[in-house]
């Protein structure tokens, strides 16, 4: 069983519990998700099965889009609605123009300090484990990129934002940092991931739909092939001899295709055999001028 499910994660469920449920429904041992969503978040959670788990890292590298509701005037220890209130301010005087001005400072390349309630490790332990034990440690800022940040709605004290960002971006931290810039504090009230690379929430399947599909034998309808997440990369069809070389892990020249446009993802391309089957991910080595099989799928 190979492929990717675009699941609409419901509120209150952990990403790990969704993976466990898919394992139970499918009977497939190799199952993994591409990018954790907090229990209080909903939306797109791509779940990879079988050999498709090998494209998880590429999917996690893609841009994500979120619809976020931020409540001004209330700061929590977790940065979201599930935390304890640690500070309250007065957002009454915050205008639409002030919001727009504050948001401008978060567009582009920014630095974020990972929240204590996150899966980042410190000396071998997850930060959220330390936080639950009442321990707070110093965290180093990390780079994140905000490709797009739009003010969708403002009904005081709640701000609705649409955020397109790189992997490793914490929307909870963005909400808290926005509150600091505005001087009134803030926390993330609601979050939905509307897009993760190729996948969007409009085509996402609910867990109820997925359970019925496995029960009645039409689950294949919801499974995407692994190579859809690599569709932004250049593609090449290789000969039978080249296919064998790739299967054996040998580097090779692709002739005219050796000069194909290199994708932005570190000079990679998709390789297909003469039957049109997705064969491998190839990586171009500039020093040797050849393509090396990075991951083989057939």
Q: Environment class of residue 190 by beta-carbon count within 10 Å: exposed (0-12), middle (13-18) or buried (19+)?
A: middle
- Helix pair 96-104, 171-182: axis angle to 10 deg: 120
Distance separating alpha carbons of residues 30 and 19, to the nearest angstrom: 10
Closest CA to 188 of 106, 74, 111, 91: 74
Q: Which residues are marked as active site?
A: 38
Closest CA to 191 of 171, 207, 209: 171
Q: Is the dihedral of CA 107, 112, 116, 122 positive or negative?
A: positive
- Bridge partners (DSSP) of residue 282 are 269, 293
Distance separating alpha carbons of residues 262 and 29, to the nearest angstrom: 34
The stretches of the chain forming alpha helices (DSSP H) are 15-26, 56-60, 96-104, 127-132, 171-182, 207-216, 240-247
* CB contact at 8 A, 93 and 189: no
Distance separating alpha carbons of residues 73 and 163, to the nearest angstrom: 21
């Amino acid at each position: 069983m190979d492929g990717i499910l675009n699941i609409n994660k419901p509120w209150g469920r952990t990403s790990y519990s969704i993976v466990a449920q898919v394992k139970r429904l499918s009977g497939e041992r190799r199952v993994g998700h591409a990018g954790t969503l907090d229990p209080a978040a909903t939306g797109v959670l791509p779940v990879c099965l079988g050999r498709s788990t090998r494209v998880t890292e590429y999917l996690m590298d893609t841009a994500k889009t979120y619809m976020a509701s931020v409540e001004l005037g209330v700061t929590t220890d977790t940065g979201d609605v599930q935390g304890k209130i640690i500070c309250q301010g007065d957002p009454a005087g915050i205008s639409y123009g002030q919001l727009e001005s504050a948001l401008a400072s978060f567009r582009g390349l920014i630095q974020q300090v990972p929240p204590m309630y996150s899966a980042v490790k410190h000396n071998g332990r997850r930060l959220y484990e330390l936080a639950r034990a009442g321990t707070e440690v110093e965290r180093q800022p990390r780079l994140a990129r905000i490709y797009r940040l739009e003010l969708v709605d403002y009904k005081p004290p709640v701000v609705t934002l649409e955020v397109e960002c790189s992997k490793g971006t914490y929307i909870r931290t963005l909400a808290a940092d926005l509150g600091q810039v505005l001087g009134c504090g803030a926390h993330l009230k609601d979050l939905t991931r509307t897009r993760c690379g190729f996948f969007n929430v409009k085509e996402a399947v609910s867990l109820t739909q997925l359970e019925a599909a496995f029960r009645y034998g039409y689950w294949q309808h919801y499974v995407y092939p692994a190579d859809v997440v690599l569709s932004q990369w250049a593609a090449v069809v290789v000969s039978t001899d080249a296919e064998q070389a790739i299967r054996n892990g040998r580097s090779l020249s692709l002739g005219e295709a050796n000069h194909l446009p290199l994708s932005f993802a570190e000079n990679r391309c998709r390789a297909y055999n003469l039957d049109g089957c997705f064969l491998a991910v190839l990586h171009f080595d500039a020093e040797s001028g050849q393509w090396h099989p990075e991951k083989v799928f057939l």
